[in-house]
Chain A
Amino acid sequence: MNSPQRLRSPWVWVGLVALAAALLVLPFLVKNYRVFQFNLVLVYAVAVLGLNILTGFNGQISLGHGAFYAIGGYAAAILMDRAGMPFWATLPIAGALCFGLGFLMGFPALRLGGHYLALATLALALAVPQLLKYKAIEQWTGGVQGIVLSKPEPPFTFRLFGQALNSDRWLYFVTLLVAALMFWLAWNLLRGRVGRALIAIRDHPIAASAMGIDLPIFKSMTFGVSAAFTGVAGALGAVVVAFVSPDSYSSFLSITILVGVVIGGLASIPGAIFGAIFIQFVPNIADEISKSAPWAIYGVFLIFFMYAMPTGVMGVLRTLWMRWRPGTARASS
């Protein structure tokens, strides 16, 4: 592996700085509506990353992460609406709450493997939108009507390229910061000892426990961490959309997040971004192509992607990198 060498190369740093500058200027180059879509991409990227920790790295399939996304969203909405909390303070609370619930969900996951776990989590995804309508909690959740939120105003304002820093652009920077933080956390968690343990459990649980990895703790913790990521994404999503209701979190959302994981590339951290771009934009493209059967078009896209890139977008990028990086070229010549 030549990755340490790559990181030391000055060109990589130039590239990173250019990328960061582009990300900072981007919202001022496009219309508000696009900024809003970019915000959703960042939110979905965190959610997809959360599920990827569980499914990609640890090999546990969850069809219920939409439920954690919903719980995170509702936690943020209720805290903002009822307790008058600032939106940023709700994010860690939503994350902690989902960590707890995810950890508890992890216990049955110990006994259930593969398809059985998928079905158990699917039950969660089906139940949560209905439970949100439950009468006893209606005074907080707003029942079927949901909760309308106010978008946070930027604390200061300035203009760049003739575009003002308004609430959407402000939220973009907040979302970008949170997403960067979550990706950095995931990177640190998964590139080290813990990440290797998770992969070992995925690939060979018996060998992993023989090596001294505590399976129950690791599996439950992974479920909790994964749910926490998705919960934070849900809370951010609620702030960005400024509305939550049971219909916002249908059981299809869970499938959508899983689609993002697979399209982006299983067990790939940057893949989450590509997965998020797919789940945000492809339904819109499908809708523009056909009003009669948008989901059929979506299905065609999905099949095409799976056929052309069976290992996800990151898998293809990795293959291309391996083939054309300077090192191999020299070795083969």
Chain B
Amino acid sequence: MNRKQFTLVAAGIALAFGTAGTSAWAQKKYDPGADDKEIKIGAIHPYSGPASAYGAIGKAIGAYFAKVNDDGGINGRKIKYFPLDDGYNPAKTVEMTRKLVEEEETLVVFNPLGTPSNTAIQKYLNQKKVPQLFVATGATKWGNPKDNPWTMGWQPAYQSEAKIFAAHILDTKPGAKIAVLYQNDDYGKDYLKGFEDGLGDKAKTMIVSKISYEVTDPTVDSQMLSLKASGADTFFNITTPKFAALAIKKAAEIGWKPTHYLNSVSASVGSVLTPAGVDNAVGIYTASYLKDPTDPQFQKGKEWDDWLAWMKKYQPSADIKDVNNVYGYTVAQGLVQVLKQAGDNLTRENVMKQAANLDITLPMLLPGVNVKTAPDDFYPIEREMLARFDGKTWQLQGKVYGR
């Protein structure tokens, strides 16, 4: 049935059913990027350049949309996916965003990756009133519906995660003397603020020492010595991978054995804990919210089977161990839920309204972690589970923290 015939039939039905019919049709509303047959979704990821490992996310999203389309689409509409490459260069992100909005006319700009890239396009998208939906960065500034009602985050923000560590410390060791090492930039300060907010009134007495380092510093040796000298028995390590490895190694060398909390930014076993020496890393805590595809405890059940079947059918050449595939799968499911809720009212305004009205769980999120938003809460995932390193892998601790 082509569109003209469809309209004719629709008009016939509407006439036959009288007023009931017309009011039902009146509800169909579209903005650029959506019609009776398809919904255009634009996305920007680095397929080239220094961060091209994250390109896997963009491909996984496309593969998930392919599955949704094969299953009949969303409310009868197929998703048309426009994946673009910005090479992790903010100037290119601007160009690609404008291509999506002005040329391809997509309904949303979905999951653009990187804090600088998203900073570069935020003003433009909010001026144009185009959703900048579920951005792939942990900065806390994306959840600010008052100033930027068209921008929404996705994964736990740095501050949310820091609050989870604070809650765990208050739970398990209320008398802790805490030392903090943080990177002296927006990312480090973001974490530190969340941590202090999480400890609340006790922050002043519990944190006995906080020392920063510069990205340009060769080592953090002197910082580690001062932190040890403060007499702290708990250590919050807000560092990027290279410095995380240096800090873990130095702590072992100087014989400092505090309860060690490591931000999830540096939770990679391969690139942080192994170079630091896995023996030195035993007992460190971090936080996570996605199921690790290499963790045997998740490799069973319907959720795993669905995931595996999708990977095999739609991403046969992708690395099954790569957590970026889990991320892409999950964030795409989040968007599909938003579009389902939007029904026939596919305006950009309604997409944001539905995105701010979520309360769901997704199959590859850790048990107990949910996606929950509200008109004044633009932080979809805020819960995480603590994990402890046993010398080989991260062992989840079971209890879920966060709002």
Contacts and interface: CB of A to CB of B under 8 A. Distances in A.
Interface of A: 31-34, 36-37, 40, 130, 133-135, 138, 143-146, 148, 237, 241-243, 245-248, 250, 252, 283, 287, 291-292, 294-295
Interface in B101-127: 101-103, 114-117, 119-120, 122-124
Contact of B120 (A135, A138, A241): A241
B227 to A, nearest CB: 20
Interface string B305-333: 00000000000000000000000000000
The secondary-structure label for the interface of chain B is: helix
A145 B186 contact: yes
A225 B83 CA distance: 40
A228 B377 CA distance: 48
Given A31-B103, A248-B90, 5 more contacts: A33-B98, A34-B103, A145-B116, A242-B124, A250-B50
B55 A243 contact: no
Give the 9 A-B CB pairs with smallest separation, nearest first.
Answer: A33-B102, A243-B120, A287-B85, A245-B116, A33-B98, A248-B91, A294-B48, A241-B91, A247-B116
B47 interface: yes
Contacts of A145: 115-116, 119, 186
6 contacts: A33-B101, A36-B98, A40-B95, A135-B184, A145-B116, A243-B120
The secondary-structure label for the interface of chain A is: helix
Contacts of A248: 89-91, 116, 120
Contact of B89 (A36, A250, A294): A250
A291 B59 contact: yes
B185 interface: yes
B214 interface: yes
B33 interface: no
A84 B157 CA distance: 33
B84 A287 contact: yes
A63 B361 CA distance: 51
B116 A134 contact: no
B357 to A, nearest CB: 29
B121 to A, nearest CB: 8
Contact of A146 (B50, B59, B120): B120
Contacts of B94: 241-243
Interface residues of B, number: 38
B264 to A, nearest CB: 19
Contacts of B98: 32-33, 36
A243 B103 contact: no
Given A32-B98, A32-B102, A135 B214 contact: yes
Contact of B88 (A37, A133, A237, A247): A247
Nearest to A148: B123
B99 interface: yes
B15 interface: no
Interface in B16-61: 47-50, 55, 58-59
B336 to A, nearest CB: 21
A318 B118 CA distance: 44
Given A37-B95, A143-B186, A245 B119 contact: yes
A144 B50 contact: no
A69 to B, nearest CB: 10
